[in-house]
Amino acid sequence: MKANYILYLVTEESVPVEELLFKVEEGVKGGVTIVQLREKLSSGNLFYEKAKRLKELLAQYQVPLIINDRIDVALAIDAEGVHIGQNDIPLTAVKEIVPDSMIVGISVSTVAEAIEAEKNGADYLGVGSMFPTQSKSDAEVLPSGMLDSILKTVSIPIVAIGGIQLNNIAEIRDKNIAGIAVVSGIMKAEDPFLAAKAFRNSFR
């Protein structure tokens, strides 16, 4: 399954399974092209259950599922990809563990990290935080011009992440990024379908 990063939905923490499935499906119907399941607070059993159910749902729409951090869960449910951070198991080790067909992404916030990630075989980069965000309280906003510097340095797809909302999307829309990652803008919207449609229309 080929990845299209245009509208990259990252799920909210600790959303009940049925609510999660409903919101993600509505988002996909509205234009979400790839989904990352992020569950740092869940037990392994619950994470696995959510991932399995989400994989079954997204397969119906041919939308890839990316698992955040948990390589074991990604392998157990045969997810399309895994996403890691700078403090997780090294990218080189991940590439040795997962099949060649699995998409591997990594979060970066500097040019050096981006260069290292591309050299070590990352398929895409999550670059941010672009704006202040409540979804990840410890995320630092990128210095002005950092996204442009990273874009000039690497050739793999870049997804901008962190605090992206409809009222600030214009600041990054014209940059040569592969897509935008949205969390609360869709997951906390009254109507995830309409929210996803609005983000998709605003970005492309």
Residue ranges of the binding site: 36-40, 68-69, 88, 107, 133-136, 163, 183-184
Question: Cis bond leading into 129, ω under 30°?
Answer: yes
163: left (phi over 0), alpha (psi -120 to 50) or beta: left
Locate tokens 């299209």: which residue?
Answer: 4
Q: Cα separation of 76 and 1, whole Å?
A: 18
* Binding site as annotated, residues for Mg(2+): 69, 88
